[in-house]
Amino acid sequence: MSRKRILILGNMAKPGIAEKIDEILPWLNERADVLAVCRADQPDIDQAKKADLCVVFGGDGTLLSATRALACTHVPLLGVNMGKLGFLAEYTVENLQRYLPDVLSGRVKPIERMMLKACVNNCRHHQFCATAVNDVTIHAGAPHRMIDLSVTHNGTQVSAYLGDGLIVSSPTGSTAYSLSLGGPILHPSLDAIIITPVAPHTLSLRPIVLGSCCAISITASRVNPGTAIVIDGQVTAGLCDGDTVQVTRADCPARIVPCPDRTFFDTLTDKLHWSRRPHYHNPDGPTK
């Protein structure tokens, strides 16, 4: 059987990552053909197209950036967490060394996760189109007055959103910014989109889950000079009054290699303390 080919990406700006890659590179070369080692913000697309696996050293932000850049090459991405949370980048270096043979042999298979595509098509100032792994956010920006956004789904009016903006999330992004604003948790295998308002000017406007089969159109009825569309918290473009942002399911899904050590619910519990029991006070002993 021919040897598998690996592309390595790293957030070289973060202390210790370049050194860790240098340390583990001989071990990787014994088990596969390493095509290249690249900066995560400058991935080699041609090499990615040849690779059977892309190993990304960094945090969740590094993996988000790499996933957007490489999604349409169809290469699976395995995230090695060298950051803080490690929600999407599930592997440790020890996990990588334990499970890489299973990943290369196909015993551990990548999971496809729906991505979003957001385009601003009708603005002569802001011609913009990008894919998102987590979310597409519209922020009010300076001078921080409330903005007015009108949303339709498949041409049907959903609502007018008056407030500080809104978030359009994929199931993967349901545990990111949307969750902090009261949005629901969706399993990453679902094919759905969440709209979560940011500080809405009414108590009755709540997050809503919609099918991903149809386009979501967001018209900027009234925005601020600093209002912007933000992709995964990393890519930004301005918006003007009258601009329309169209959000659809992206043609190419993300292909993320899960860690066999944990399920999605394990990750929720370990990283976000989901489903943890309250700390009850025991008058006869220590707090449990």
Any idea where the domains of the chain sit in the sequence?
A: 5-109+258-272, 116-249
Task: Read off the pLDDT of residues 30-44 as tens digits, 9 standing for 90 and up.
Answer: 999 999 999 998 999
Phi, psi of 69 (to 5 degrees): -70, -30
Structure tokens at 13: 């700006």
Confidence of residue 194 (pLDDT cuts 50, 70, 90): very high
Tell me how far apart the alpha carbons of residues 92 and 97 are, in angstroms, rounded to a whole number. Answer: 9
Coil vs helix vs strand at 188: coil
Q: What are the C-alpha distances in Å from 265 to residues 114, 193, 199, 248?
A: 19, 20, 28, 27
pTM: 0.91
In Å, what is the CA distance from 15 to each residue of 27, 118, 230?
21, 33, 27
Confidence of residue 153 (pLDDT cuts 50, 70, 90): very high
pLDDT at residue 57 tops 70: yes
Residue 285: what pLDDT? Answer: 60
> 112 phi and psi, to 5 degrees?
-85, 130
- Asked if the model's pLDDT at residue 83 lies above 80, the reply is no
Cross-strand partners of 144: none
Average pLDDT in the 64-70 region? 96
Q: Which pLDDT value is given to residue 91?
A: 95
pLDDT at 150: 97
Model confidence pLDDT, tens digit, residues 107-123: 999 999 999 999 998 76
269 three-class SS = helix
Task: Give the pLDDT confidence score for residue 272 in this predicted structure.
Answer: 87
- List, in sequence order, every residue forming a beta bridge with 53; answer none if it has no partner: 6
**DSSP secondary structure letter of residue 12:** T
- In the set 52, 60, 164, 232, the catalytic residue is 60
Share of the chain above pLDDT 70, in %: 97
Cα 118 to Cα 43: distance, rounded to the nearest angstrom: 22
Is the Cα torsion angle 11, 12, 17, 20 positive or negative in sign?
A: positive
pLDDT reported for residue 2? 81
Please state the rounded mean pLDDT for residues 184-200: 96
- So what's the pLDDT on residue 1? 57
Single-letter amino acid, residue 97: Q
Whether pLDDT at 287 is above 70: no
Structure confidence at residue 178 as a pLDDT band (50, 70, 90):
very high
Mean pLDDT for all residues in the chain:
93
Tell me the average pLDDT across 197-213.
Answer: 93
Name beta bridge partners: 228.
Answer: 139, 238
Query: How far apart, in Å, are the Cα atoms of 169 and each of 23, 151, 199, 222, 284?
Result: 37, 14, 16, 22, 47
| Fold classified for 116-249 | Tumour Suppressor Smad4 (2.60.200)
Q: Residue 233's closest CA among 153, 164, 171, 178?
A: 178
Return the pLDDT at 121. Answer: 80
Is 60 catalytic? The answer is yes
Has domain 5-109+258-272 been given CATH number 3.40.50.10330? yes
Helix axes 93-105, 17-31, angle to 10 degrees: 30
Per-residue confidence (pLDDT) for residue 280, from 0 to 100: 76
Please state, for a pLDDT cut of 90, what percent of the chain lies above it. Answer: 83
275 pLDDT exceeds 90? no
**Structural tokens at position 144:** 């921080």
Residues 255-282 have a mean pLDDT of 87
Comparing CA positions, the residue from 207, 97, 223 lying closest to residue 148 is 223
